[in-house]
Structure 1
Amino acid sequence: MSKKVIRPYNGPAGGWGALRSVAKHLLEQDVPVHGARTLLSANQPDGFDCPGCAWPDRDHTSTFEFCENGAKAVAAEATRHRATPELLGQYTVAELAGYSDQWLENLGRLTHPMRWDAASDRYLPIAWDEAFARIAAHLNALDSPDRALFYTSGRCSNEAAFLYQLFVREYGTNNFPDCSNMCHEPSGTAMKAQLGIGKGTVQLHDFEIAEAILIFGQNPGTNHPRMLGELRKAAKRGAAIVSFNPLRERGLERFADPQDALEMLHDGSTRISSDYFQLRIGGDLAAVKGMIKRTLEVDAQAQRDGRERVIDLDFIAEHTQGFEAFAAEVAGESWDTIETESGLTRAQLERAGDIYLQAKSVICCWGMGITQHKHSVATIQMLCNLLLLRGNIGRPGAGPCPVRGHSNVQGDRTMGIYEKPAPEFLDRLRDVFGFEPPREHGHDTVGAIEAMLDGRCTTFFGLGGNFATATPDTEATHRALRGCDLTVHVTTKLNRSHLVHGRDAYILPCLGRTEIDIQEAGAQAVTVEDSMSMVHLSAGINAPASPELLSEPAIVARLAAATLGERSKVPWLWLIGDYDRIRDRIAAVFDDFHDFNRRVRVPGGFHLTNSAAQRRWTNPEGKALFKAHAVPTDLPVHRARAGREQPVFTLATTRSHDQYNTTIYGTNDRYRGVFGERRVLFIHRDDIAELGLQAGDWVDLESLCEDGVQRIARRFLLVEYNIPRGCLAAYYPETNALVPLSSFADEARTPTSKSIPVIVYAHQPQPAQGLRSARDIGLVRID
C-alpha cells in the first residue's frame, strides 16, 4: 500500500513531473521500450488516435505531442499484463469485487470471451460463436425490443458506433443510454436550441488569434493536458486567459511544456491565467450574467455619452432574436443576487466584463464543471448570450468551445447514438437500408437505470465503458444491473461493471485502438471525430493482446447477424470485411460525410460543416436566440440550507491526476499534493475550524436528498485546500453514491454530480487498527 502523504505542490503543470510520471507508468505496465515506440505513433498519419481525451491535434502529421494522461492511457492499453481465463479463474466474482478499481485495472488485457458461471461464481471461457448465439437467443426471446438497453462509451469508433445504432434500430428500439448523457448532454441541448447546432464552433487555429480565452469549470492540466500547449502559446503572445473555477488548479496557473527543451533545461514555466476567479460551485451562471450586466451598463453609458456602442448592433439585428427582452431581464437582476450566488464581488465581475469588452475576439471554453448542475443548460445559454452580444460567434478567433472528454464521444452522437433521433435521420436509415426504424424515443442513462429498477428493461448491453461506476446513485445502479436477466460488456479490461452483473452475464474482449485490426481485406483503420469536428483515421501498430480478440465493428456485426438472421436487410459480415464499405454506408446516410473514404485519407482528415460557425442558424427560428435566465436561488442546496443550523456544503465530484474518467491508474493527485490516498475531502481551513475538526481527521459525508433516501459515503480524509467557503471537492467514483438518481439537469437530465448538498461529521468508528491519524504522518494542508 502506498504511503499516505499530503504536501503542497509548488511546481508547474507538465514539466519533469509529467515525464517522471509517464516513465513510472510505462514501467508498471511492463512496456518501457515497446510502450515508448507506441507513444510516438499516437496521432500520426499512419498511426492511431490517442484513446484518451477528445482534444484535437494541430495537423495530425506533426511529431509526437506529449500528453501525460494520453501516455498513461496508451501504456495501460499496450500493457503486457494479461487477464487470462486461468488468472481470472482463481477468483470468484465475489472475491474480485473486494479489490480496488486500480487492482482490477492492473490485471491487464482480457484475452478470451467469458460467461459467468453461477455454480462456481466465476467467469469461464466461452467460444465466440456460442456467446453470440446465446446472447442472440436471449434478445429474440424478449417480448419487446424495448426491454433491452444498449449503452455506448465515447471510446468506440465511428464505424463501430454506426453499425451499433444500425443493429439496434433494425432490432427495434431507440434505447441508447450513453456517456454523453452523463457529461456534455447540456452543451448539445443548450446550443442546438440557441444556435441550431449542438457542437462548438471553434477550431484550433482560432486559439492562435483569440484576444481573450475564458475558461469555465475545467481543469485542463489533468483532463486535457494537450490543451495547455494552446493556452501556453496564447499566453506568450499576450492573449488574456481568464479562468473561472472554485479550486485553484495548477494547470490553469503555470505550465512547463515537456517538449520545450529550453524551458525544461532551465526548470521554467509559463503563466497561463492572467486572471483567476474562484467562484462558488454552481455560481457560473451568476458570474456570466454579471459580465453581461457590466457589458450592457458600459454600452448604455456609451450611448448616453454619444460614444461608439460596445455591443455589435449590426450582428444582433441581422443574426439574433430576443435581444430587447433579454437585456431588460438582465437589467432587472440585482447586483446583490449576482454577487451572493457567484461568490465574486462586483469589482471582480466588472473586471471580468472589462476583459471581455477589450477583446475583439473571444473564445468561451467549458467542461463538466458547468454541465453537471441542475441549471447547466441555462448556464451554457448564458455563455452563448455573452458571445452573441459582441458578435463572437462565426468570427475568426471566437466562439463557444465545449471541451469534451472521451476520444470519440462527439463522433458517437454524430453517428446516431442518441435516444431521441431526428425523424429526418430515421428516414435516411429507412431509405438506405430498407427497413423501418423505430420512432418512439428511448431511454437515456437516468431513464435506463429507472427502467431496470422497475422491471421495464431486463437486458443490458454495454459497448465499452464502466456503467456501474460512472453512473450516479451507486446503490440504486448496482441494484438495477443485478436485477437484469442478462448483462453483456464489450471491453478491453476487467472493471467494476463486470462484477455487478445480471442472472446471465458475458464479457466480450475487443481490440484496443493501439492494435492492428486484420479483416478480410487486410489491416483496417477506423475513424474518430474530435471535439472540434475534425474526422480522421486511426490505425493501430501493435499486435493484438490475444489472437482471440475481435474488433468492436466485428463484435457488433457478428451479434447483429446472429440476432437478426435472414430477416435483416443489412449485409453485416460483408460490411466488416473492409471498413471502407461501412464508411460508404455512412456517407449514404450523412451528407456531411460525402466522399468519406477519399476525404478521410487526406492527412489530418476533414472538418464537418458547422452551420453556426458560418452564421447559418438552423433552429426553428432561423436566428441565434438570446435566452434569458434568472440567477437560480432555489436550488437543492438552497433548500437544504433553509432552517438548518449545521453547515450545509456544496460538494463537487472531480478526477484525480492518476485517473481518466473511471479508470484509476494510481492513488496520487500530484498537482493537488495528494499521494497514496483517494478518499480525500478538499475543504477551506475556516470550514474545518467551524466543524470543530482538524486537517487530517477522517469524516463521513451525507447528502441531503429530497427523495427521503439516506445516502452516506464514509471515511474521507480532510485536506485543507484553496477552495471557497461552503464548497467541497472529492473524487469520483467514491462519491457517486451521494448523487440521487432523481437529481439531474433541467432539459438535459445529466446527473448533478458537481452540486451535491452535503453535511460533514466526524467518522465513526475511528480508522482501522494500525493506521495512525493523518496528522501523525504529515497530512496537513495544501495552499
Structure 2
Amino acid sequence: MSDDHAEAKRARSRKKLQAAGKVPFGLGEIKPRHYLEMLRIGWRNRRHPGYAWKVLTQGVCDGCALGTTGLRDWTIDGTHLCLVRLNLLELNTMDGFDPALLADVSSLPAKRPAKLRDLGRLAHPMRRRAGEPGFTRVSWDEAMADLGARIGAADPDRIACYMTSRGITNEVYYAAQKAWRALGSPHIDNAARLCHSPSTAAMKQTLGVAASTCSYRDWYHADVVVFFGSNPANDQPVALKYLYEAKKRGARVLVVNTYQEPGLERYWIPSNVDSALFGTRIADGFFPVSAGGDLAFVYAVQKRLIERGGVDQAFIDEHTSGWDDYVAHLEQYSMDELMRRAGVREQDVDALAEELLQARTGVFVWSMGLTQHGHGSDTVASVCCLGLSKGFLGREGCGLMPIRGHSGVQGGAEMGAYATTFPGGRPLTDDSAAELAELWGFTPPAREGLDTVSMLRAAEAGGLDVLYSVGGNFVDTLPQPERIERAVENVPVRIHQDIVLTPPMLLEPKDVVYLLPARTRYESEGGATETTTERRVIYSPHIPGHDVGEAREEWRIVLDLARAAKPDMAEFLDFPDAAAIRADIARTIPVYADIVGLDKQGDAFQWGGPHLCEGGECPLPGGRARFVTAEPPDRSLGEGEFHVATRRGKQFNSIIHREHDHLTGADRDHVFMSPEDITRLGLRQDQAIVLRSAHGEMRGRVFSAPITPGNLQVHWPEANVLLDAERIDPGGRVPDYNVVARIEVGSSTTPKS
C-alpha cells in the first residue's frame, strides 16, 4: 500500500460511523432482540449452567466457521459471543432421553424436527427391524457384530457414507474417509456438496486453490469488501464486528444481492457500546440483481471496468493466463443483453464499476446465494476472474473468500471425506493411490465415488445396500422431500449416527435401521480440531463433566465399525486416541503438518499463512491464475412467472430456532415479494397465496420486502417441495435451490408444504 493510499485510509478512519437510528437499542425497530434472547437461552440451559459456561469459555464454536475459541478469536480483540452459537448450546447440555420413547415411533412427531430434538440426546444404540413398531435398545457389541457382518458381506460399490457439517471435526472426517476407503468403497461425501463445492471447483480451476486466499483481517486493509449472495448478519454475526472495524478504518461495504438484507443495511452489535445503543449502518451500497443473474452482472461490471481502464494490466500480464480470450468472450455480449440477463439497471453496473475502479485493495466474499444454482461454479469463477482483473490476490487487503456457514465443511473436504478427491486435494489417480498406499499400508480405490445427490439417486434405484449417515437430515435438506423419503426407505441397512433424533431415522426400515449415539466435540476425549473459513486449524479441548449414556466419540464409532466389517484391515485403522489421528493427518496432508502440535485451548495454526497465492503466484502451470469463461444463463420469465430463491430465517442449517425472524420481521410461511409486484397483482400484506412450480406447490402469505421485482424468496427447507431434483451444478454437483413458479390466490386443496 502506498504512503498516499495509507494516509487516505487513516483520514477516513477518523470519521464516526453512521448510526442506524436515534432511538436507544433500536426499540420499536425490526431487529434481533439480542439480550432478551440471551435470557431465554440461559433458561433453556438451566439444568447444566456450569457445563454450558465451560463450553462457551473453553470450546471452539460449533456453529459457523469464524473459529471463535472460548470468547475470543484471531481477528479482533474483545469478547465474541453470538446468537448462532448460543442457540446451538442446548445440543451440548441436554440430557439423554429414555430409550422407551422409541418403542413405538408412530406416537412421535416424525415431521417436526424441533419436537424430536426437544426429546433430548440419543444416549444408547438402538435397532429397528422391518415390521417392528419402533426401536429396541441394544449393546454396542451387538450393534457392531451385526453391522460388521452386513457391511463386510456387502459389495463395496453398494455401500455409501455421508457426513454432515454438524460440529464434526477434522479427526472424524479423516478417520471416516480412511475407514471407508479401507473397506474398498469410494462412496464418501460431506455436506459441502450442498453448499460450497461449486466454490471448490471454480477456485481450483481459476486459482489452483480451494480455500479463502486471505484472512478476515484483510477486511481491515481493504478499500472495498464486496458481498455476493451472502448475508453474514444472519449466518456469521460476529463478522459484523469485523465489518464495523473495517468501516472504521475506511473500507466500503458493498452488497450484490436479490434482497436488500436488513441486517446488512443496519445492525445493532451488542458488544460495541455505540453500535448496541444506536446501531450502525453497514452497507455503503446495494446492487440488486435477479436471482441467478450474478454471472451476467459480473460480466457487465467487468466490461465497464475494461472500457474505463479500471483493470490492473500489469498484474494480468505478469500473473495470469487467458486474458485475451476472456475479453473476446465478453465482447460477444452487448451491455443491454447482459443487463437483461442479470435483471439490473445500468446505473447499478456503473456504480459498482466506479467503486472497483477507485479501489486499490479489495476482498470479494460470497456464499450460497451464488453457489446453490445450476450454474453456481460458473458464477463463482466469474467473481474470481473479476478479482483477478483488479489484482485482488496474494497481498494485504485483498482476497477471494468463500465464507463458510458451518464449522466442519472446510476441513471435511481437506481431510478427504469427499467423493471427488483424496485427502489434501490429491486427484483420484493411480499415482495418488500409490502414494497413499505407501503412507497407509493399503491402496484406496482410485475412482470417483457417489456424491451426495448421486447417493440418493442410487438408493432410489435400488443401488445401495448400506447407507451410513454421520449426522445429516436428507429429508429436510434436499429437493423433493417425498422422493427422498422413498429413496432412504429403499436402502436395506441404514445407520444413523447422531446426537439427537432426526426425521429420516423414523422412516420405515426395509431390513434394519440402527441409531448410534455420538458424543459432541466437547465431550470427545483427546480434544478435536476444526478448520475455519480462513484456513485456521484450531484445537478444541475435551471438556469433561457431561457424558450422555453410552455415547461414543464419532471417530471411534466409525473405526470400530470398519474393523468389525473387515478384521484383516484392522492394523491399518489402529488409532488409540485422537492424537494418533492427528499424527496420521500430518503425515498424509503436508499443509496440516503442524496439527500434531495442537493439544491445548488456544492452539492453532493457519495453513498457507495469511495469504494464498502470495505475490500473485498460483499453484497452476507457470504459476499463473486462469481467466475462464461461461455462458451467462438467460433467465427470461414467461407471463405470470417469478424466480423463486430459497433463504434462511432464524435457523442454523435445517435446525429452525424460531418461527419468526426478528432480523427481517418475517414468519416461516411468508413469501418475500416486491411492493411493485404486490401492487401489480392486486395483493396485500399477509394475503394467503399458493406458489406452484412444475414440481410441487406450497402455501404462504404475502410479505412486502425490498426485493428485485420479478423475484420471490421463501424459507428453506419448506420450499424444497417446489424444487427440481434433477437440476444440478455440473462443477460442484450441488442441487439448484431456485426455481420458477407462479402465484395463485388462496389456499391449496392439496398442500405439500
TM-score, length of structure 1 as denominator length:
0.87
Secondary structure of the residue that 1:671 maps to in structure 2?
coil
Q: 2:259 aligns with which of 236, 247, 255?
A: 247
State the distance in 2 between where 1:251 and 1:100 align.
28
Residues 637-670 of structure 1: per-residue CA shift (max 9 Å, x gap): x3xx45xx4x11111111112x100112221211
- In the TM superposition, 1:550-589 aligns within 5 A as 550-572=552-574, 575=575, 577-589=576-588
State the distance in 1 between where 2:325 and 2:307 align.
15
Residues 590-611 of structure 1: per-residue CA shift (max 9 Å, x gap): 1112243225659441111265
Aligned counterpart, 1:54: 65
Q: 2:515 aligns with which of 498, 507, 513?
A: 507
Aligned counterpart, 2:98: 84
- In the TM superposition, 1:176-255 aligns within 5 A as 176-255=188-267
Secondary structure of the residue that 2:263 maps to in structure 1?
helix
Alpha-carbon offset, residue 580 of structure 1: 1.4
Alpha-carbon offset, residue 353 of structure 1: 0.8
State the distance in 2 between where 1:388 and 1:460 align.
42
Q: 1:667 aligns with which of 637, 659, 662?
A: 659
- In the TM superposition, 1:420-499 aligns within 5 A as 420-421=420-421, 422=427, 423=429, 425-499=432-506
State the distance in 1 between where 2:358 and 2:391 align.
14
Aligned counterpart, 2:724: 740
Secondary structure of the residue that 2:107 maps to in structure 1?
helix
State the distance in 1 between where 2:150 and 2:268 align.
54
Residues 620 and 152 of structure 1: is their aligned pair in 2 closer, same or farther, counting only changes over 3 Å? farther
State the distance in 2 between where 1:135 and 1:384 align.
46
State the distance in 2 between where 1:391 and 1:358 align.
13
TM-score, length of structure 2 as denominator length:
0.90
Gaps of 5+ in 2: 1-25, 422-426
Residues 37-78 of structure 1: per-residue CA shift (max 9 Å, x gap): 14541xxxxx22111111244329965412111111123322
Q: 2:97 corresponds to which letter in structure 1? A: A
Residues 751 and 159 of structure 1: is their aligned pair in 2 closer, same or farther, counting only changes over 3 Å? same
Alpha-carbon offset, residue 323 of structure 1: 0.8
State the distance in 2 between where 1:10 and 1:386 align.
41
State the distance in 1 between where 2:749 and 2:448 align.
49
Aligned counterpart, 1:682: 672
Alpha-carbon offset, residue 20 of structure 1: 1.4
Alpha-carbon offset, residue 229 of structure 1: 0.9
Give yes or no for contact 2:128–2:513 (8 Å, CA) kept in 1: yes
Give yes or no for contact 2:253–2:285 (8 Å, CA) kept in 1: yes
Give yes or no for contact 2:93–2:546 (8 Å, CA) kept in 1: no
Alpha-carbon offset, residue 697 of structure 1: 2.4
Q: 1:653 aligns with which of 630, 646, 657?
A: 646
Give yes or no for contact 2:480–2:723 (8 Å, CA) kept in 1: yes
Give yes or no for contact 2:75–2:217 (8 Å, CA) kept in 1: no
Alpha-carbon offset, residue 728 of structure 1: 0.8
Q: 2:520 corresponds to which letter in structure 1? A: G
State the distance in 2 between where 1:175 and 1:10 align.
52
Aligned counterpart, 2:6: none
Give yes or no for contact 1:105–1:664 (8 Å, CA) kept in 2: no
Q: 1:164 aligns with which of 160, 176, 184?
A: 176
Alpha-carbon offset, residue 249 of structure 1: 1.3
Aligned counterpart, 1:627: 628
Residues 98 and 547 of structure 1: is their aligned pair in 2 closer, same or farther, counting only changes over 3 Å? closer
- In the TM superposition, 1:680-719 aligns within 5 A as 680-704=670-694, 711-719=695-703
Aligned counterpart, 2:705: 721
Residues 61-100 of structure 1: per-residue CA shift (max 9 Å, x gap): 96541211111112332234x32203333xx333325452
Alpha-carbon offset, residue 619 of structure 1: 3.1
Residues 757 and 61 of structure 1: is their aligned pair in 2 closer, same or farther, counting only changes over 3 Å? closer
Give yes or no for contact 2:182–2:569 (8 Å, CA) kept in 1: no
Aligned counterpart, 1:306: none
- In the TM superposition, 1:520-559 aligns within 5 A as 524-559=526-561
Is 2:377 aligned against 1:384?
A: no
Residues 173 and 620 of structure 1: is their aligned pair in 2 closer, same or farther, counting only changes over 3 Å? farther
Give yes or no for contact 1:285–1:379 (8 Å, CA) kept in 2: yes
Count residues in correspondence: 711
Q: 2:658 corresponds to which letter in structure 1? A: G
Residues 339-368 of structure 1: per-residue CA shift (max 9 Å, x gap): 222222112111111111111111000010
Alpha-carbon offset, residue 481 of structure 1: 0.3
Q: 1:293 aligns with which of 288, 294, 303?
A: 303
Q: 2:743 aligns with which of 753, 760, 771?
A: 760
Is 2:170 aligned against 1:149?
A: no
Is 2:279 aligned against 1:279?
A: no
Secondary structure of the residue that 1:112 maps to in structure 2?
coil
Secondary structure of the residue that 1:528 maps to in structure 2?
strand
Residues 263 and 684 of structure 1: is their aligned pair in 2 closer, same or farther, counting only changes over 3 Å? closer
Residues 357 and 61 of structure 1: is their aligned pair in 2 closer, same or farther, counting only changes over 3 Å? closer
Aligned counterpart, 2:14: none
Alpha-carbon offset, residue 385 of structure 1: 1.2
Give yes or no for contact 2:497–2:517 (8 Å, CA) kept in 1: yes
Alpha-carbon offset, residue 234 of structure 1: 1.1
Q: 1:75 aligns with which of 90, 114, 120?
A: 90
State the distance in 2 between where 1:719 and 1:464 align.
34
Aligned counterpart, 2:22: none
Residues 95 and 547 of structure 1: is their aligned pair in 2 closer, same or farther, counting only changes over 3 Å? closer
Give yes or no for contact 2:320–2:624 (8 Å, CA) kept in 1: yes
Alpha-carbon offset, residue 730 of structure 1: 1.0
State the distance in 1 between where 2:680 and 2:711 align.
13
State the distance in 2 between where 1:199 and 1:597 align.
22
Aligned counterpart, 1:590: 589
Residues 746-775 of structure 1: per-residue CA shift (max 9 Å, x gap): 32221110x21111213445799xxxxxxx
Alpha-carbon offset, residue 622 of structure 1: 4.1
Alpha-carbon offset, residue 684 of structure 1: 1.9
Give yes or no for contact 2:186–2:447 (8 Å, CA) kept in 1: yes
Gaps of 5+ in 1: 1-7, 42-46, 300-309, 519-523, 705-710, 769-783
State the distance in 2 between where 1:335 and 1:226 align.
38
Residues 10 and 759 of structure 1: is their aligned pair in 2 closer, same or farther, counting only changes over 3 Å? farther
Q: 1:579 corresponds to which letter in structure 2? A: A
Residues 463-518 of structure 1: per-residue CA shift (max 9 Å, x gap): 11222211222122111101010111111111112123532111111111233x34
Percent identity (aligned): 28
